[in-house]
Amino acid sequence: MQRLHDFRLLLVAVFVSHLVGCASTGLPDAKERAAVDAGEKAIVLVRLQCTIENRQPYEAFSHLLMDDNISFGVGSFRTGGEPERLALLRFLSPESRRNGWTYFVLPHGTHYLAIYPPRRTDVFTYMRETKNAPRWRIDVPQDARLVYAGTLQVSGTSDSLLVGGAIMRSIRTEETSVTNDEALARELLSAEFPDFGEVRTVLLRPQRGPTILHSPLPSPTR
């Protein structure tokens, strides 16, 4: 019985360590850049534009702590499509972060992106909620090094903070959609990664029906 109790405490500690991690601003490290240069992975850029009540603009990544921001899980061929919560949020620059741009370094193939609201409940409730988060399909073409996957339009409910302002409580899944800021994405990626070639636009799609996994994709997708 004691072992079971200790194991549960360990699981909670691991999960909490992910929740309270800090967001990260910075370019991919040398190992990641080498993988992208070798054609093994791609840098995938996504933008979030958020609103809360009364269509008030909301900055998705304005907080220092991970669990106070919108965050993500990514599922892949390795995980059977089940999203695993990312330990870090990543941004190319402080300015791009303020404008809602985030990025992932992913192997080629099909991935599933889950979007999580800031944590406003106890850990166990939040764990249950994240399991049911909606998923969006990302296709990373086999020959791509730079991919723009679209701009997610996200609306949600919020709580007021004692120090002023508000923090998102939940995401209105049915109101989430994808739009195309291709020109801005190309400008941003080309400026940061001039040696990685063409920026491919492959827009996110909501997951409907069975999970489909490809690693890598059998042919390029635009």
Residue 212 within any structural domain of the chain: no
Residue 28 within any structural domain of the chain: yes
> What CATH number is associated with residue 162?
2.60.40.10
Contacts with 13 (C-beta within 8 Å, 6 or more apart), sequence order: none
Residue 44 within any structural domain of the chain: yes
What was the pLDDT predicted at 215?
57
Burial (CB count within 10 angstroms: exposed 0-12, middle 13-18, buried 19+), residue 30: exposed
Residue 27 within any structural domain of the chain: yes
Domain count, the chain: 1
Domain that holds residue 199: 2-206
CB of 126 closer than 8 Å to CB of 119: yes
CA-CA distance, 74 to 116, in Å (whole number)? 11
Residue 221 within any structural domain of the chain: no
What digits encode the pLDDT tens for the residues 46-83?
999 999 988 899 999 998 888 899 999 999 878 777 88
Residue 214 within any structural domain of the chain: no
What digits encode the pLDDT tens for the residues 97-120?
999 999 999 999 999 999 999 988
